[in-house]
Amino acid sequence: MKTYKLLTPGPLTTTETVKKEMMVDHCTWDDDYKKITQEIRNELLRLAHADKSNYTVVLMQGSGTFGVESVLSSVVGEEDKLLIAANGAYGNRMEEIAKLNKIPYVIYKEDYDKIPSAEKIEKILKDDSKITHVSMIHSETTSGILNDIEAVAKVVKEAGKVFIVDAMSSFAGVDIDVEDLRIDFLVSSANKCIQGVPGFSFIICKRDELEKSKEKARTLSLNLYEQWKTMEIDGKWRFTSPTHVVLAFYKALKELQEEGGIPERAKRYRENNKLLIEKMRELGIETYIDSKHQGPIITTFFYPKDSNFNFQDMYDFIKERGYAIYPGKVTEADTFRIGNIGEIYREDILKVVSIFKEFLESNRSK
């Protein structure tokens, strides 16, 4: 199979050493394995700046969406009401989850190139006293925008509501002080900025709010409270865990610390992003999101103005030369996306831009 690097927001390019961890088979009942689960949970709390007396971590089988659905379907009760702040596909996916799980909700939609307004959220909360929970995306990879969870957290907590954050592609790539922001539930995934592989999500939970969710769950396997109660005993998962993925994640956590922790990883991602935007602009390719709100995880670019190509041709050309990019998700504009997280460095950014240049030049000569 031909190998290539992923310029995507996850799954992403991992180190060879992380991959090698998956060459070992492990028993889910083994004490050594359960100890690894507990160490992962403790390390995630440390990365989140969350005290163990106030917060806990639940690992949940499946992709990031499984984690989001686990939270929404487990903690928003039948007598509660959810406000979803959405400015992209993943905010809209929360609405799909709410509909299918028959969760009472209201949605506030913002344009894909604009962040959800804390002021508007504050007004919605004042106008609708039935709202008990508020959810939003931090890094909306539909566009690459980084939403202002700090401002929203302030109005949500002042209103006395439960705050749920999907920090899928930002956690550990952007430093988030969960306790300081008083986030009640933060969801992320193994295959994002910690640079593991797909297979489980994790939820950083305020203990008292998690306790309140007892008997609210709408599903068996995604029952967040029951998963926590089982895991809290000795690190055992309720149902079969993705052992190979867990071992890879454990190694990835160690490699994050070896790199210098979140500050150094965030710096590398920001520098990748800055260089990418700068070099693409030299080719006449502009960003969809303005510089104030552009996140460091993935960037949406407009097609060059004088382009006469289709995305698939461009994708194939770039992939043949060692990299995979993303199509755009912004429906009203012709765009494509390039991620810069994972084992991606300055030389990769310069290389992929040179491939773009080669493609554009070859395309114009046709």
Residue 198 to residue 168: CA distance in whole angstroms: 12
Strand 55-61 relative to strand 200-206, pairing: antiparallel
How many other CB atoms are there within 10 angstroms of residue 187's CB atom?
A: 29
Question: What are the φ/ψ torsions at residue 255 (nearest 5 degrees)?
Answer: -70, -30
**Within 13 Å and on the Cβ side, how many CA atoms surround 149?**
30
How many other CB atoms are there within 10 angstroms of residue 49's CB atom?
A: 15
- Mapping DSSP to helix (H, G, I), strand (E, B) and coil, where does residue 253 land? helix
> Which 8-state DSSP code applies to residue 205?
E
| Residue 238 known to bind ligand | no
* DSSP E strand boundaries for 149-190: 162-166, 185-189
- Mapping DSSP to helix (H, G, I), strand (E, B) and coil, where does residue 319 land? helix
Specify whether the CB–CB gap between 268 and 312 falls below 8 A: no
Which residues line the annotated binding site? 337
Which residues line the annotated binding site for substrate? 337
